[in-house]
């Protein structure tokens, strides 16, 4: 193969399984375990998608890490309270929610990309991280955790919902349609926050 060495092109991919061989019965058992969770990218695969495949800006990377860290803390408390949410799945969505940031309708674009990659559950959560339909009669699930964790983090710092949305209204609220959208997002975020706090028995904090 040395005659083709000058034609070799290295392509970065995010699938850990390209390095996984099935040479023995034990490997096959491991493969079945991996395949059962193939619809959820691992943390290292998410990192590779952000840094190597989509090459997001550093500020977006830091924001995504901060959102995922908050989501992970909320999930720990929610699951201790008996919710039993899929932590790996929701953390993956938290990490990848802004991977198409800067593109028009980045939430929908990222969702389509993830759907095409074979991650439908992650795609659904990412697709609703900008706008979500929520009512107090609806149980808190993964999409709600991703949504509210994202709203609590500005850049890579924790901020109250009230301050976050007050600042948005100050910047963009002169347009009545935009202002209404901001207020709707705030209302949903506050409802989700209140539901989570009632379940975990404490306020959400940094």
Question: Is pTM beyond 0.85 here?
Answer: yes
3-state helix, strand, coil in the chain (%, to 5): 65, 0, 35
Average pLDDT over residues 79-103: 96
Tens digits of per-residue pLDDT, 149-198?
A: 999 999 999 999 999 988 888 888 788 888 888 889 999 999 999 999 99
pLDDT tier at 36, thresholds 50, 70, 90: confident
pLDDT of residue 1: 56
For 7, phi and psi rounded to 5 degrees? -100, 0
Q: What mean pLDDT is reported for the chain?
A: 91
pLDDT recorded at residue 97? 97
- Out of 2-16, 33-47, 87-101, the most confident range is 87-101
Asked if pLDDT for residue 16 goes beyond 60, the answer is: yes
Q: How many residues does the chain have?
A: 206
Tokens 């092109």 belong to 9
Q: Any idea which residue has 């991650």 for tokens?
A: 119
Taken in order of first residue, the domains within the chain and their CATH numbers are 22-200 (1.10.3210)
Provide the pLDDT for residue 179: 86
106 pLDDT above the threshold of 80: yes
Residue 15, burial from CB neighbour count under 10 angstroms (0-12, 13-18, 19+): middle
């Amino acid at each position: 193969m040395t005659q083709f060495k000058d034609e070799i092109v290295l392509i970065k991919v995010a699938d850990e399984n390209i390095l996984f061989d099935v040479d023995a019965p034990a490997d096959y058992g491991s493969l079945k375990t991996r395949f059962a969770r193939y619809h959820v990218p691992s943390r290292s695969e998410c990192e590779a998608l952000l840094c190597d495949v989509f090459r997001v800006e550093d500020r977006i990377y830091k924001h995504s890490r901060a959102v995922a860290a908050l989501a992970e803390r909320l999930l720990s408390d929610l699951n201790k309270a008996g919710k039993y949410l899929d932590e790996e799945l929701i953390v993956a969505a938290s990490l990848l929610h802004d991977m198409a940031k800067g593109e028009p309708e980045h939430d929908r674009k990222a969702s389509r990309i993830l759907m095409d990659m074979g991650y439908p559950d992650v795609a659904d959560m990412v697709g609703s991280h900008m706008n979500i339909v929520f009512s107090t009669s609806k149980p808190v699930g993964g999409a709600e955790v991703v949504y509210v964790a994202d709203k609590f983090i500005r850049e890579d710092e924790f901020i109250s919902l009230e301050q976050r949305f007050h600042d948005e209204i100050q910047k963009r609220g002169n347009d009545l349609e935009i202002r209404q959208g901001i207020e709707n997002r705030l209302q949903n975020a506050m409802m989700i926050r209140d539901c989570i706090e009632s379940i975990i028995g404490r306020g959400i904090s940094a």
